[in-house]
Chains A and B, each alone.
Chain A
Amino acid sequence: MLTESQPHYRQPLLKTPFHERARALSQVDSFVAWAGYTTVDVFTFVEQEYFAIRNAATLYDLTPMVKYRIAGPDALRYLNRLMTRDLGKLRPKRVAYSIWCDDEGHLIDDGTVFHLGDSDYRLCTGERQLDWLLASAVGFDVQIAEVTSDIAALALQGPTSCAVLKNFGLDGVEQLKPFELGYFGMPAILGATGELMVSRTGFTGDLGYELWMHPEDAEAIWDGLMQAGRDCTIRPIGSRALNMARIEAGFLMPNVDFVSSERTLHVGTERSPIELGLGWLVDFRKGHFTGRRALLAEQARAPSRRLVGLDIDGDKPAHNALLYADRSGRRAVGSVTSATWSPTCKRNIALAMVDAPHFGTGGSIWAEIYLNRELVWQRRMARARVVERPFFAPERRRATPPADF
């Protein structure tokens, strides 16, 4: 927290309310900066944390997620002009993943919109966007405030996550449907009062929840969840394990799979939602929104590139690989933005931006992969097939009520 005695220049990176707990459990002391906070990269080792996501329950500190409160009589009109989705369809106590674009129809950022109640919304994004949000507010009766440090947040993800929450004492949490949010009485064992907001959302593509709380309750809730999850082999995870899971789920990462058009320096490196395969998030019938005219025009043109999923031969992740039309490697047709070996799918997967006409599902291209075999570098051309995303989508992510496993 910033105070008079601890001004920002003495703490260039803020600590989240979970920091002390995380530091105590961190074996390798690996922290990274995220949106002005320091958060854990890895607690033990990546594979162990990854398998906990897919087989048990995991805690991930979500506090640095930038949160805005958007409220006022015009909040819905404002959001509908800002974003590409029709948020008029978002009922109270529901959450929607949405994106917003600049005038040219280039993606600025994505985020989740929480409909908290009467003309009261919360927007969660990976990076700060206040300038654009305020610029978009001209002409609307709406108040926008950043509330990032007012709310501590934890992601509880994995097949046993619902069981953990029930153990924890959140009665009825199993009735929460995907993208629904609810308020639950604080479990008596914590000695805390008040309500805990829980949403059935996440970045793993698995069964999971996100918990939104007052920073003062943060440590007690962490402790309570770790205690309640002991029999479910709960463990905290860092951002690297989460990254493997989100690639399997086919989710995009800002600054990895696309660069916000507010930050690009080079002409032509911006990306539109259509190029990123997010066209399903664009509702042209709802009325005007920023970028609508540009996106309509783009839709009328033949697409020049598209973000696709790749299934690549072999087991070596195609990090940053250049893609070619054929094995000769003479004609470049794109590049990989995210890659991982998927332990669950047993496939070598990647997200990649591929030029026309090679992005059609079922198409076959070639990835140039560099391997370091005990300091001897090798170059491999591996066949890459364009496949549907997500790579991994278990039924349990949707089941209501979820099984205990």
Chain B
Amino acid sequence: MYDCIIVGGGHNGLVCAAYLARARRSVLVLEAADQVGGAAVTREFAPGFKVSACAHLLHLMPGSLMRELGLDARGLRMAAAHLPSTAIAADQAPLALDPSDCSGLAARCAADAAAYPRYRQRLQRLGAALQPVLEATPPRLGTASWQDRWSWLRLGWRIRRLGRRDMRELLRIGGMCVQDLLDEQFDTPLLKGALGFDAVLGANLGPRSPGSVLPLLYRTAAEARSGSALAQPAGGIGAVSQALAAAVFAAGGQIRTGALVERILVNEDRVAGVVLASGERIAARQVISNADPKTTFLKLLGSEHLDTGFVRRVTGLRAGGVTAKLHLALGRLPQFTGVAPQALLGRLLLAPSLAYIERAFNHAKYGEFSAQPIIEVTVPSVSDPGLAPAGKHVLSALVQYAPYQLLAGWQHERVRFTQLIIDTLEQCAPGLRAGIEAAELLTPMDIEREFRINGGHWHHAELALDQFFMVRPVPGAAQYHTPMSGLYLCGAGCHPGGGVMGLAGRNAARQLLREAA
């Protein structure tokens, strides 16, 4: 009999387990795969070539979390930190997106060069004001709870303290589309495309979709106290999970890999434990699910234990991913036209204009993949040569839009989309194709299968106004506890969402400890 069983050893599950174990709970993490990490893993995709299989950069995990769990001491090291971002295009010179050095931008448009640092600073101020929201259980409306009232007061105070102009700006842009925001301030298409990219990355939104500023604010807020800015962990993102697992062990928690949870057991309207695919039953007082909400409620728990209205909300959760992941094993370092070697340490953003992104998004609306996709490229082997055989390289790219529900079906279209992405990259990096030794494309379908995320969405559920904060993932489960007594959520489907941040896991652990004190 354990105090707590964590279903799924993704980074949030591990974070949650570590905090619970530190609070002297007996904790068991059950991970279906052979290694921990969920979608934050490093694995081989071609002989000798390793890559961060889903998430590939670390920029959201708060420093406080990394310190509390002692991840440094457990061997987590950054191969490169404070990574640069560079906008690229087939027919233009690259543009470095460094607010501290706008010389490249000034050469194109002096007004933009002046406006860009101001834009970054304001966004960072707003992000910093919102950041504490990410670190707490979302409050409920209309309750008599002091915890809820305190949360509202704190949020109100944070926003008020921004001052009149920033507060007004926050309220103004919160529901806006990112194209309107960027058109107000900039002229350079390449700059706007790259800035818009970060708003729609991972979201089923185009730059003209209402509410597309929200993911940008969210990202900026999470980055505000990031422990490592934009960084690449040595050994890939899986190294973060390995360090988290070490933190679990150090606190006395247990982890079992290769243990697929088939159902959550219920007794007398209370969770009693889990049963594994092997038939083994493990009893626990609390079950905390790192799985996505649909999997947790509809598959592991079963709608028979839930109310119809709640199930209807879970069924309606928008959770279809639009982001694919491309892995290339390269015989030589790719040469991106005009890109300085230093820039290859960081990420290259291929989204030459907002119109280009919107056109790419158009296809997704109709169940097609983008004819001209937007791409975030990293070559992690530049700073971390261990990922590839000597002298060879790994290219890891996030590609949009690749809708989960592809009308033509991914089994027929995977090869065609892979070739299309490579062709698109070839235009910016002539000779790339010739150097390819192996390629792997993970569509949302593949992400669903490999990481057991219903819909293959790396946030487990779309991060949008209607699935955000106090209604994430759905009302009735937005405070980490669920309608089923003893069942908690700790995954990316909860506030504050996905990305390798770990706050959903930490918030869930804290909430559980408060409730089950």
Contacts and interface: CB of A to CB of B under 8 A. Distances in A.
Interface of A: 77, 81-82, 102-103, 132, 135-136, 138-140, 287-288, 290-293
A138 B303 contact: yes
Contacts of B307: 102-103, 290-293
Contacts of B305: 288
B298 interface: yes
Interface stretch (B14-22, B107-115, B310-318): B310-318
Given A135-B315, A139-B311, A290-B308, 14 more contacts: A77-B304, A81-B303, A81-B304, A102-B308, A103-B308, A103-B309, A103-B310, A135-B312, A138-B315, A139-B298, A139-B304, A288-B304, A288-B305, A293-B269
Nearest to B297: A139
25 contacts: A77-B304, A102-B307, A102-B309, A103-B308, A103-B310, A135-B311, A136-B311, A138-B303, A138-B311, A138-B312, A138-B315, A139-B298, A139-B302, A139-B303, A140-B303, A288-B269, A288-B304, A288-B305, A290-B307, A290-B308, A290-B309, A291-B307, A292-B269, A292-B307, A293-B483
Nearest to A80: B304
B136 to A, nearest CB: 26
Contacts, number: 47
A135 B312 CA distance: 6
A139 B312 CA distance: 11
Contacts of A77: 304
Given A139-B298, A139-B303, A293-B269, A82 B308 contact: yes
Nearest to B302: A139
A282 to B, nearest CB: 14
Of A77, A103, A132, most buried by chain B (CB within 10 Å of CB) is A103
Contacts of A291: 307
A389 B305 CA distance: 35
- Give chain B's interface residue range (CB within 8 Å of chain A): 10 to 19
Contacts of A288: 269, 304-306
A136 B312 CA distance: 8
A82 B308 CA distance: 8
Contacts of B310: 103
Q: Is the interface of A mostly helix, strand, loop or mixed?
A: loop
A139 to B, nearest CB: 3
Most A Cβ at <10 Å: residue of B305, B310, B312, B483: B312
Contacts of B269: 288, 292-293
Contacts of A81: 303-304, 308
- Give the interface centre of A77, A290, A292 by most chain B CB atoms within 10 Å: A290
Contacts of A135: 308-309, 311-312, 315
Contacts of A292: 269, 307
A103 B310 CA distance: 7
B308 A136 contact: yes
A292 to B, nearest CB: 8
Contacts of A290: 307-309
Contacts of B298: 138-139
Residue among B310, B311, B315 with most chain A CB within 10 A: B311
A134 to B, nearest CB: 10
A102 B312 CA distance: 11
Nearest to B312: A135
A290 B310 CA distance: 9
Of listed B298, B302, B303, B305, residue having the most chain A CB within 10 A: B303
A183 to B, nearest CB: 32
A34 B402 CA distance: 50
A119 to B, nearest CB: 16
Contacts of B303: 81, 138-140
Contacts of B306: 288
Interface in B274-306: 298, 302-306
Of B303, B308, B311, B312, most buried by chain A (CB within 10 Å of CB) is B308
A102 B304 CA distance: 14
A80 to B, nearest CB: 9
A319 B269 CA distance: 44
Contacts of B302: 139
B308 A132 contact: yes
A77 B311 CA distance: 16
A82 B304 CA distance: 9
A140 B303 CA distance: 8
B489 to A, nearest CB: 17
B394 to A, nearest CB: 42
Nearest to B475: A103
Contacts of B312: 135, 138
Contacts of A287: 304
Instruction: Give the interface centre of A81, A136, A139, A287 by most chain B CB atoms within 10 Å.
Output: A139
Contacts of B304: 77, 81, 139-140, 287-288
The 5 closest A-B pairs by CB, nearest first: A139-B303, A103-B307, A103-B309, A290-B307, A136-B308
B297 to A, nearest CB: 9
A102 B309 CA distance: 7
Contacts of B309: 102-103, 135, 290
Nearest to A133: B308
A333 to B, nearest CB: 27
A355 B58 CA distance: 59
A135 B476 CA distance: 17
A132 B311 CA distance: 11
A200 to B, nearest CB: 31
A240 to B, nearest CB: 35
A291 B308 CA distance: 9
A136 B308 CA distance: 5
A17 to B, nearest CB: 34
Interface string B235-249: 000000000000000
Contacts of B311: 135-136, 138-139
A139 B308 CA distance: 11
A290 B312 CA distance: 12
A292 B315 CA distance: 20
Nearest to A104: B309
Nearest to A74: B304
Contacts of B308: 81-82, 102-103, 132, 135-136, 290
A272 to B, nearest CB: 14
A293 B298 CA distance: 19
Nearest to A136: B308
A101 to B, nearest CB: 9
A293 B484 CA distance: 9
A150 B310 CA distance: 33
